[in-house]
Structure 1
C-alpha cells in the first residue's frame, strides 16, 4: 500500500510539473494603448485582471508579433475592448496607516505624490477612479469635468479617552461630496450620508449625480466585479493511519496500523473571488466520512508477552475550509489548496483484542480501550488537483489530532489521505 501512495503522489507532482507552462500562460485580450503623445494604438494586452493597479503591461500588435513591455512612464493609459480602462495620473495619495497597531506608532496623516494607473469606475461630468495600493488599501478619486483629480478621503485614527487609546474612522469623503462636488444637490445629502467607502456604493452615487449635473453627456459605468458561487457533489475514498504517543498504553504505541480504504461523500460550496483572473477561491465542504483502521501489536520481554489487534471505527461529519489557488486555462485548471478541517464524530469505537501470557497465567482480552473518546477533532489540510469542465480530481492530505482530546496521557496523530472527485452543478 505504501508503494501505491508513493506512485500516486509522484503522479500528482508530475502532473503539476507538466502543466507548468499552462500555469504561466498569458491572457492576451483585444485592447489599446494611449501613448505619451495621446496616440491610440490597437492591439492585444496581457489582461491579468489586476487586483492591485499595475505599473506596466505587456502588449502585442497582433497574435503573431513579439511581446513589447510598456511601463507607466511610457504611456498615458490603456484599456480593453468592453473591459477595464486605466488612466495615468499624478495624484496625491493618503498613505496614512489603517491598522490600529501602526497608528499607535504613527498617527499623523501621510500624504505622498505618485504617478499611477487609476482604474476608471465612472466616466462623465463626475468621474470616479479606484486604486488599490501596495498595502491593499483602497483609494477612490474624483474628477469634475477635466479638472483636478482628488482623492476622496477615508482615514483611520487613534484618539485617547482616560489615557486609553481608541480606534476611530474619519469619513471626510462625505463632506467633500456634499460641499465641494454636489453642493447644488441637497436632496442627495441623505444618500451621501449613507454611502459607504466601497466601489458599489460610490459608483451608484456618482452615477445618480451625473444624471443631475449634465444628462446630455455620455456616461460610462463599469460593472463591479462580483464573486461567483459554485455548488458541487463530492465523492471519494480516504485512507487513514494512526500513530500514538503514550507512556501507559504500550499496546497502542507498539501497534502498526494499516491503511484502510473508507468512503466519503458530501457537498461543496466554492466562492470564486473576482479579478486576478479568478485564480483565488474560498472552498468549503461538508462531508460524511467513515474511518476504519486496524493494526497488530506484539509485545515481549523476559516474563511477559502480549499479541493482539487494535480496531478503531469512527463515523463523522467533517467541515473543511480552504483557500484555493488555480492556474486558469480553458482546457484544464490545476489547483492547490490549504486550509483547516473540523470533524465531529457521531460514533467512535476503540477496541483491543489480545492474548496475554506471563509465567503463571494466560488470558484473552476483548474490551474498549477508551470509554469516552472526544467527539471533536481539528486538523490541517493541503492538497491539489485538476479541474476539467465541470469535474475536479483531487488528492488531499489531512493531519489531525484524532478523537482522544479528553485523554491527556495519550497523544494521537491521525493522517488521512483522500482521493476525491467533485462534480459542480453550475
Structure 2
C-alpha cells in the first residue's frame, strides 16, 4: 500500500518534471536569465504568503480525527480570502518604508503575488485533503496539470512567466476538486469555529514557524537578487528549478505519504521508527545518485537544456544543490513532530533555522562572495537538518499511541 501510494505520487511528479524539462529549452531561450530572476522572486514571495494562507489548518488535516475533516476544510477554503489580501497589504506597506527600495520586488508585482498565493494556498489545502483521504491519483493529477498549463500558457498564450504561473496554479486547484466531492453542502460554521479553537496551536504556533521556515528557504534567492542582480538570481533559480525542485517535490511526495501512513500507525499504536528508517534510506540513496550525476554530466546536460548565456559550471551546480540534498533527506520524516504534537520542538528548530540562515546570508556575502556564501549555506543546512532528523527520531521513540490531534490528546508540554 505504501509503495503504491508513493509510486503514484512520484508518477505525478515525474510527469510534471518531464513536461518542464521538455519545454525548458524553449522557455530559457525565450525569456533569459534576467526574466527568470524576476519571475523567481515573484513566485518565491507568493510561496511565502501561500504557506500561511490557511493558517496551517491544511496541515492539521493529516492527523485530525474524521469528525474534524469537514470543519477544517471549510476553514481552509475561507481563510485564504482573508489572509492573502492582508499579506499583500503588508507587502505594499513595506515597499513604502525606507528599506523598501532594497526589496527585490516592486508594487506592480503585488497583484500577481496575491493571485499566485491565493491559488497555491487552495492547492495546498486540496492536496492535504487528498492525502488524508488517500486520493493519491488526485494528488498526482494536480502535480501534472500545474506545470503543463504553466508551460502551455507561457509559450503560446502569454509572454509573462508570472501570469502563466498564476494560470497554472488555478488549473492545479481545479484538479484537486475531486477531494471535495463528499463534503456536505451545509455550512455549519459553529462546528468550524469550535474546531479552529480546539486546534489553536496550528495558527498560533505552527503558522508563524512555517512562515519563518519558508522565509529561510527563500532568503538565498531574495538576497542574491538584491545583492547580485536578477541575472544571478535567474541562474541560481534555474538550478533550483531544474534539479533542486524535482528533489524537493520527491521529498514533498514522500512527506505526504509518510503523513498518511505514520498517522495510521500512530492511531493503531504501531511504532513509526521502521517507517522513518525506510524513508531516510530511500532519500539518502536518491541524494547520492543525484550528486554523482550532477558531478559527471550536470554541466553538459544543463547547458543543452537552457542553452548559452546561463551559468552551468559543475562547482556552481553542486554548491547550489547541497542545501537541497540535506533538506530532502530529513524533511519528509520531520512530519512526525506534527503528528505527535511536538509543535514547540518544531518551532524552536525553525526559529534556529531561520536565524542561522539569515545570519549566514547577512555575513557570508561580505566575506566570501557568491561561491563562498553557497558553501557556508551548505554547511549550515547540513548541521541544522541533521539536528532536525535527530529530533524526528526522538519524537518517534517517545510517541504514545494516542489518536493524533483529537480533543482528548494530551496538552502540549513545555518539554516538548
TM-score scaled by length of structure 1: 0.19
Question: Would you tell me which structure has more strand in proportion to its own residues?
Answer: 1
Q: Which gives a bigger RCO, structure 1 or 2 (Cα 8 Å, sep 6+)?
A: 2
Structure with the greater alpha carbon radius of gyration: 1
Q: TM-score, normalised by structure 2?
A: 0.20
